Amino acid sequence: MSTGRSAPANAPAIRMAGVVKTFGAVVANRDAALEVQQGEIHALVGENGAGKSTLMRVLAGLYAPDGGTVEVNGRDVTGWKTTNAIAAGVGMVHQHFMLVPTLTVAENVVLGMEPTKGITIDLQRAVLEVEALCKKCGLHVDARATIADLTVGEAQRVEILKALYRGARVLILDEPTAVLSPPEVQELWGVLRTLRADGGTVVLITHKLDEVIAVSDTITVMRAGATVSQFPTAGTTPRDIARAMVGRDVNLHLDAVGAVRTGEAHTPPGMSGRDPVLQVQNLRVRSDRGTMAVNDLSFDIRPGEIVGIAGVEGNGQTELLEAIAGLRRVEGGHVQLGAHALTTLSVRERADLGLSHIPEDRHRRGLVLDYSIADNLILGRQHHFASRGGLDRARIAANAVEQVERFDIRPPMAELPARALSGGNQQKIVIAREMGRAFHVLLAAQPTRGVDVGAIEFIHAQLRAARDAGKGILLVSADLPEVLALSDRIAVMYSGRFVTVLPASACTAELLGPFMTGAAA
């Protein structure tokens, strides 16, 4: 388009038009468009599978589009490579981190452009540079720590540092807050605003509409691979955005909170006095680093109760759930499901006793990505779908048809590998498998992480229905509003202990905040 060598002064930072991208039979983008002005924070929203991540990967040079044009600063860059994108100052922070786990923070940040001393890498300078960058942007992370030892939130900060270290002027963030605690989110907003004040441009993919309102200047909405609308944030309500995303009215978080507050008597009559379905006594569990991640923890869950654990990630929530599920060795203490002691049982025995588990990391634990939807729907229950050692393919297929229909997994093709689905639909596979069968206790870790509004509404409804049917649910979520909306009791976990346990009706984000940072412990 522009023939001039330098960019026109008033050219938008990003202009994408008519972008088409297909993967085999799956159309990820069709006629997708995006226009972002210099120095703005632009929110890209849409349901899972709407094609936001794909569009941004095209922009970052990870995918070559099958059609359409991409311009950065007025220059036609259609089909460029990541190296070109980085050189042009376009950096992307991915939803799934791309870090080398055995290297340190500083080594990861400088990877590919290491400062050198002669022919050796000057690691000392790398550390200093990274520390200076941290200070400048207000991102706090130990430059000498090894990635494998970081929490998810810290790892994400490293990803942002990586992009900034490469001189990114256009920063693309794919669902950055999914893994952050409220104070960390505020910190991130600070970083983004600093960037904007500095003339930088930010594209933010998110599902959380309050975030869109809080931080963005302009909003672009995508649906089914195409861009449906763009409007300024000022004067827009979350409800408007949700409607544009889904194409109909949706029941939002805020309403849900109201419903729970007023509907205090949701515990089915006769249930409240019953024995706990899950009891945890003096549980002690070590982290991978050998520290005591869960330290002498005791609590119980009654039938028809959701106990929510609030807290900054990395305070022992992961270890606690893994220990209850049988995935992590217990140092001491006792876990009991109904009348059954669990601590010595295998994962399978626990599942057969009625323990369901939605793991926090669906890509690592929750799904075998190369297995079909149908095969993933029996993971953990494969012994129930086999007779004399042979898999009962007919029953596996029937189960898939039923669950795909009931949990609205899209596309409804049970033979498709789970890898081919969007994040939200992948999570629906996990939810379908763990909640679509008989169970007594559900461990739900980050059940709506990286999932769109429509699916969040659905998953929350499932959790409430299970609670009302007398199940006990242990909910861990980095999303504080979610914990507030769903829980009957809320425990705040800090440094391996519950620093407080309160009835949800007494809780507000303001009240819980100090506990989460350990200030009120």
Partner 1 sequence: MSTGTLKSTRVWEAVLPALVALGLAAVLGDLLILSFGESPAAVWSLLVKGTWGNAYGVGQVLYKATTLTCTGLAFAMAGRAGLFNVGAEGQLAAGGFGAAVMGLLLPSSLPALLAVPVCLLAAMFVGGAVGALPGALRARFGASEVIVTIMLNFIVLALLNWIVSAKLHLPETLRTPDIAAGNVARLADVFAMFRGSAVNFTVLFAVAAAVASWWYLFRTRSGYELRAVGLQPDAAEYGGVKVPRVLLVSMVLSGALAGLGGVNFVLGYKGYYEEGFAGGAGFLGIAVALVGRNHPIGVLASALLFATLSQGGLAVNAVVPKQLTDILTAAVILSVATAVPEVQQQIRAAAASVTASLARKQPQGGES
Q: Which is nearer to partner 1, 273 or 389 (CB)?
A: 389
Amino acid at residue number 509: A
Q: Do residues 42 and 231 make contact, with C-beta atoms less than 8 angstroms apart?
A: no
Q: Closer to partner 1 at the Cβ: 211 or 322?
A: 322
Report DSSP state, residue 104: B
Q: How far apart are CA 48 and CA 246, in angstroms?
A: 10
CA distances from 17 to 29, 30, 78, 200 (A): 11, 10, 10, 22
DSSP string, 83-99: HHHHHTTEEEE-SS---
We find the least distance from the C-beta atom of residue 385 to partner 1, in angstroms, to be 8
How far is residue 476's CA from residue 479's CA, in Å, rounded to a whole number? Answer: 9
> How far apart are the C-alpha atoms of 14 and 279, rounded to whole Å?
54
Q: Which is nearer to partner 1, 189 or 371 (CB)?
A: 371
DSSP of 213-239: HHH-SEEEEEETTEEEEEEESTT--HH
In whole angstroms, how close is the CB of 322 to partner 1 at the nearest point?
9
Residue 361 near residue 417 (C-beta atoms within 8 A) = no
Q: Is 279 exposed, middle or buried (0-12, 13-18, 19+ CB in 10 A)?
A: middle
The CA distance from 216 to 42, in Å, is: 5
Contact, 454 vs 474, CB < 8 A?
Answer: no
CB of 443 to partner 1, least distance (A): 11
Interatomic CA distance for residues 155 and 173, integer angstroms: 14
Q: Which is nearer to partner 1, 120 or 387 (CB)?
A: 387
What's the closest the beta carbon of residue 217 comes to partner 1, in angstroms? 40
**d(Cα 28, Cα 20) in Å, to the nearest integer?**
8
Minimum CB distance to partner 1 smaller for 233 or for 376 = 376
Q: Which is nearer to partner 1, 413 or 521 (CB)?
A: 413
Taking the least distance from each CB to partner 1, the nearer of 50 and 325 is 325
Q: Hey, what are 180's tokens?
A: 């952050």
Question: In one letter, which amino acid is 178?
Answer: A
CB of 428 to partner 1, least distance (A): 17
Q: Are 309 and 484 in contact (CB under 8 A)?
A: no
Nearer to partner 1, 111 or 353 (CB): 353
**Rounded to the nearest whole angstrom, what is the least distance from the CB of residue 365 to partner 1 in the complex?**
4
Q: What's the N-to-C CA distance of the chain in angstroms?
A: 60
Residue 426: both structure tokens together: 């992948």
CB of residue 179 to partner 1, shortest distance in Å: 18
Per-position b or e across 113-130, b if 16+ CB within 10 A of its CB = eeeeeeeeeebeebbebb
Token readout for 509 is 């984000």
Interface with partner 1 (CB under 8 A): 24-25, 325, 327, 329, 346-348, 351, 357, 359, 364-371, 375, 379-380, 382-383, 385-386, 389-391, 393, 413, 415-416
In the bound complex, what is the minimum distance in angstroms from residue 182's beta carbon to partner 1? Answer: 29
Question: Cβ closer to partner 1: 385 or 515?
Answer: 385
- Beta pairing, strands 472-476 & 441-445: parallel
- In the complex, minimum distance from the CB of residue 42 to partner 1, in angstroms, rounded to a whole number: 34
| Cβ at position 390, least distance to partner 1 in Å | 5
CB nearer to partner 1: give 260 or 358. Answer: 358
* Closest CB 348 distance from partner 1, rounded Å: 3
SS3 per residue for 433-471: HHHCCCCCEEEEECCCCCCCHHHHHHHHHHHHHHHHCCC
- Burial label for 4, CB within 10 Å (0-12, 13-18, 19+), is exposed
Nearer to partner 1 by Cβ, of 125 and 286: the residue is: 286
Q: CA angle, 92 as apex, 86 and 98 as ends, to 5°?
A: 100
SS3 at position 505: helix
Q: Are 294 and 496 in contact (CB under 8 A)?
A: yes
Backbone angles phi, psi at 428, to 5 degrees: -65, -30
CB-nearer residue toward partner 1: 51 or 380: 380
Nearer to partner 1, 136 or 329 (CB): 329
Least distance in Å: CB of 253 to partner 1?
29
Residue 432 beta carbon to partner 1: minimum distance, rounded to whole angstroms: 15
Contact 305, 489 (CB under 8 A): yes
